[in-house]
Structure 1
Amino acid sequence: MSDLSAGRDENPSESAELSFLSGPDANNDCVRDPQGASRGAALSALGAYLQNMRTTDLLSREAEVDLSTRMRHGDESARELMILSNLRLVVSIARRYSDRGLAMEDLIEEGNLGLMKAVDRFNPDLGFRFSTYATWWIRQSIERALLNQVHMIRLPVHLMEKINSSLSKREHDLAMGIDPGEDLFTIHPELLPLLREPLSLDMPLGDREDGSLLDVLEDTERPSAIRLIELREDHEQILRCLSILRENERRVVELRFGLEEVTTPPMEDHLAADLDSSHHLSAKIRSSRQGGRKSSERGDGMTLEAVGKILGVTRERVRQIESHALAKMRSYLEHPEGFSAGGSSPETKGRKSKRS
């Protein structure tokens, strides 16, 4: 057992303990109500609770021993006085956990439960002040409440095993009157990101009564406005590129890149999918222009072999037509003035003139 006879008294001074409610920033440091409606009432109730604690004096070591002795003989008034005299200790400890996702009044309530356990289990013969012993139980009770909040989230099995092992050891130490050491969240810092105040999706935004948090959350299943603009630009660019291809070239590109409906305006229900097909082809052309590796993304496009069966040509012939079509589209993007719809590129015209 640890020798804690020299353990320091955790009871803070009255002025320091209550200052966080009396200062100009009291509204920021106390109860955080995301809905905003009951914030003032909760703060007022908590303030009244803390003001009432001022009427109870702190206990000396001798008074703690006397009250503990009376409690052993069934004196309920002694137990009540021991609890009331240490309520400020609970507030002091609860403030250390004020950024962990629970409102201050909830932290104080959980801390008070720990204080009651400490009062019932305290033995002055152990040789240390009650405030030292009570601090362990108050922390344990608050941390238990915070863990219950974390348990709403599915945790990895190995982490749960570590936490349960730590809790069992700490509770054993408490029962034996041994200092459990650092708080649970210092031992397991991976829990800290999980301690966030839960927010309702229906909570109002500021003073607005007709809007909620749900109204401003991004719909990840649909493309953003900027993304739609980018996709539409690609779509329009591909339409222009397809217009300069011969019929067989156009057909190969459409089948290979899933663009069979690309010449018609995309329907709203299939907007993202249709525009994405254009985007894949646009990326393919850009990659080829920059000399990069060929992209394997083709949206819902067909394989060379499948396209060959539809057109009645070999797999290699499909590859040649596709390669020539992409080169023509690339040239069009670089020098659009030299092309006509379904016509020849400047290179093709040059070859024809040489032959003649």
Structure 2
Amino acid sequence: MALSSGLAATALAPTNPWTVVPSLGNLDAYISAANRLPLLTHEEEQDCARKLRDHNDVEAAGRLVMSHLRLVISISRQYLGYGLPHGDLIQEGNIGLMKAVKRFDPDQGVRLVSYAMHWIKAEIHEYILKNWRMVKVATTKAQRKLFFNLRSMKQGFKTEAETTHRNTLSDSEIDLVAAQLKVKREEVMEMETRMSGGDVLLDPAPSDDGEQAFGPIAYLADAAHEPTAMIESHQRDLLATDGIASALAALDERSRRIVEERWLKVRDDGSGGMTLHDLAAVYGVSAERIRQIEVAAMKKMRKTLAEYA
């Protein structure tokens, strides 16, 4: 995956420190190149930010982004423990950086580095939550906060857990986490269960000897052959055939033809049946009168179908 559109770099052109050679897929070279990019002074940062805000200067935006690539790299290293590729984390962080640059207001009296940290972390957090597990472990804002805080706090319990050969939190640790994070004990236990559980393939691939491996999908019930579903399906079939026929038979000839022409027949070109105006011309009445007859016929048919069911 590219580290970012036009931002993934491997070396610097000697004539211009802001010129980056396109990516060759070498992450170490990209990091080295990004760390050699010059930092902007406060005055230069303010000048570039105002050019971007007032004149939509793309070159100024590029300088703001490039000068903060090392910040993204530094922040992304904090999330290497989730087992996701470092390059992907940097890319997501770069997206957050570009969003921050686009929204940065130089008149707020805040340096871009402080403002961008929130956007970079938010983008990386979103990527981790989407890719750390096949099934999402956190969906609400509160669950996301608990996910990252709990994982961070568990690192402090790691030494004790290794000594006692435990993989989960003890009751006292759960109480401590709940108290510090100000959440319910049950919420900590639920998130711990989600984090501890791994992904299981519903339909595993065949083994090396060619035999089909059995997975959880083999034990799932077939809803199509569930008795209640079969009865409902049979009733729908009856209503669609005998029921409709009985409902149409209860109508007078004109009402029945109007319903059939409007809803049960298809023209040669594949379009719907006759329009209200077509039927109005056939019977020599207004289209509104045809609509009234149709409404009355439908009402009568629904009553007949209810009795048939």
TM-score band (shorter)?
Answer: 0.3 to 0.5
TM-score normalised by the chain length of structure 2: 0.40
The TM-score, its normalising length taken from structure 1, stands at 0.35
Bigger Rg, structure 1 or 2: 1
